Amino acid sequence: MTRKVGIIGVGNVGSQVAFSLCTQGICDSLVLIDKNAKKAQSEAFDLLDMMAYTHPVSITTQDYAALDDADVVILAAGPEMMAQEDRLSELDETLAILDDVLPKLLHTAFHGIFLVITNPCDVVTHFVQERTGWDKQRVFGTGTALDTARMKRMVGSTLNVSPSSVEGFVLGEHGDSQFVAWSTVHVAGKTVSGSVALDRDKVEQETRDAGWAILQGKGCTSFGIGTTAAMITKAILTNEQRIIPVSTFDAKKGVYIGLPALVGRYGATTYYPKLNDSEKARYDTSIAVIRQAIESKNNTKPKKLSP
């Protein structure tokens, strides 16, 4: 069976997702769509130039109809960020992108999984689901998966172990109200919260600020999020049933937010980790930030689009 993925928006992030999918042999067919048709075509040619040395992938550009039988469609379109902005500042421009993209997608026969990268990820995921009416399980975002990878890198570096040996999650908003759920962070079955070597406040701050530090130096973040999105896509296509902290729907709170979820062929199934009282309070704070952003736009934007 052909594994087909669509990417809407092939700027710095979308093109890196495409590169990761191709070099890792995750998909067999790609559909690249961008507001700049020449850019999409050039990215396709550049990827095709690798095919003598990588897994062969067929590539189509600028064709929404080609998404009819896609297994996964990834939204990576978004405005260019400035280093002094927070992710929520992108919301107005991003909602305009949804106004353009979603009606076109609703005119296709696409019935796969829709993965949101575009920031502010949790809020955008909410509006995608609300406007399309798609099942909440098949609409989710990359959420705090990248933030969790950053936390694991820092904890691993401090304790001199591989990041892959660090277990645990960053939860909440993919933004300034995110937090490390230290009660979930373990190495070799032992909690790291009492480690003398570990400055938890420093790890949290550097995890939160990592994206901005990269943005100031190179003007974008791409490798980390591109690889993260490819990993999530692989989990969907292979029905991996992998636990990943994505922006998934919290039915108890009524919003999308970074939580562990079981990711596979049918989308994301939310898991609720056991948090201590301090973590619960921080989670509720993050919920409030996301909810406020949603409510600030609900009075000005349509609730649901029609195909």
Give catalytic residue positions: 174
User: Is 156 marked as a binding-site residue?
Assistant: no
* 276 in a labelled binding site: no
DSSP per position, the chain: ---EEEEE--SHHHHHHHHHHHHTT--SEEEEE-SSHHHHHHHHHHHHTTTTTS---EEEES-GGGGTT-SEEEE---PPPPTT--GGGGHHHHHHHHHHHHHHHHTS---SEEEE-SSSHHHHHHHHHHHH---GGGEEE-TTHHHHHHHHHHHHHHHTS-GGGEEEEEEB-SSTT-EEEEEEEEETTEESTT-TT--HHHHHHHHHHHHHHHHHHHSS--HHHHHHHHHHHHHHHTT--EEEEEEEEETTTTEEEEEEEEEETTEEEE------HHHHHHHHHHHHHHHHHHHHHHTTS-S----
Residue 299 among known ligand-binding residues: no
Residue 184 annotated as lining a ligand binding site = no
Answer yes or no: is 9 a known binding residue.
yes
On whether 122 is known to bind a ligand per the annotation, the reply is no
Is position 246 annotated in a ligand binding site?
no
13 in a labelled binding site? yes
Binding-site residue numbers for NAD(+) are: 9-14, 34, 117-119
Binding-site residue numbers are: 9-14, 34, 117-119
